[in-house]
Amino acid sequence: MSVSRIVFTSLNYVGWGALDNLLPEVERFSPKKILVVTDPALEKIGLVQRVTNPLVERGYDVEIYTDVVPEPPLETGEKLVSFTREGKFDLIIGVGGGSAMDLAKLAAVLAVHEGKVGDYLNLTGTRNIEKKGLPKILIPTTSGTGSEVTNISVLSLDTTKDVVTHDYLLADVAIVDPQLTVSVPPRVTAATGIDALTHAVEAYVSVNASPTSDGLALQAIRLIARSLRKAVENGTDKQARIDMSNGSYLAGLAFFNAGVAGVHALAYPLGGQFHIPHGESNAVLRSYVMGY
């Protein structure tokens, strides 16, 4: 009988209205200067302000960094890490899809390390992560990557992708509020939903699957299967958005603890080289890999 190593984030709030827990959680860290990492589209539609307004009204010093692009290249990570080191922040909040959250957790940890982000990449890096870094709160606005509960930060390189991984990249607090996903357009809802479904299916068939990850994966598959089409067809369907948020969160916990497989391995070059959104790369490859 084998032993499974199971790792969860330390504190998660999940459900409609979960964002109300942000202010009390921020107060726990008594931060002097907060950095919010997000993408420009979310600031434009006022979603970021829903997160930051209560903090600003309480008197916190909040800086918003919006220089995030989808499927972020290594250079975007290098720029943000330099900015974070210079800014003397003591709490990082990542708000967005996987792209913003991956960069936020990377910046929180590498803010207290030396060298370049490239030095810490899994495949080609030469340095090890040794310190926990700044506290971080992650708030997903897509139902897809599960990045809020994984220790992974994905970066696009010239022809593929690579990752920085360490348990220090795990969020101190994850806040998964489906209200924040209502504005996701249908195409992004579909792509990110397929990403979440692929996490759950690949975790379930993984050689490293365990009874814990199987439970998480199966419940994720149930929720996503009943609600992905509904969320794409009608973004204001509250129950569908709730199911998708729960589904992507559970799928994130499942694949983080069991691993992913062929679809993700083949999706990396498509995302890195051709900048195809991660969920769409998974979608085109899924049936071929599953068939094989």
Q: Which residues bind ligand NAD (CB under 6 A)?
A: 39, 41-42, 47, 70-71, 96-100, 102, 141-142, 144-147, 150, 152, 154, 180-181, 183-184, 188, 192, 195, 271, 278-279
Residue 86 CB, nearest approach to Fe ion (Å): 32
Query: Which does residue 97 bind out of Fe ion, ligand NAD, none, counting CB within 5 to 8 angstroms by kind?
Result: ligand NAD
- CB-based contact 141:180 (threshold 8 Å): yes
Give the contacts of 244 (CB within 8 A, at least 6 positions apart).
143, 178, 181, 189, 193, 196, 223, 224, 227, 228, 231
Query: Which does residue 243 bind out of ligand NAD, Fe ion, none, counting CB within 5 to 8 angstroms by kind?
Result: none
Nearer to ligand NAD, 31 or 96 (CB): 96
Nearer to ligand NAD, 105 or 113 (CB): 105
Of 14, 26, 10, 13, the C-alpha closest to 172 is: 10
Nearer to ligand NAD, 31 or 147 (CB): 147
Tokens of 217: 């994966």
Nearer to ligand NAD, 31 or 140 (CB): 140
DSSP 8-state symbol, 5:
-
SS3 category, 79: helix
Residue 263 CB, nearest approach to Fe ion (Å): 8
Sign of CA dihedral 103, 109, 112, 113: negative
Query: Which does residue 94 bind out of ligand NAD, Fe ion, none, counting CB within 5 to 8 angstroms by kind?
Result: none
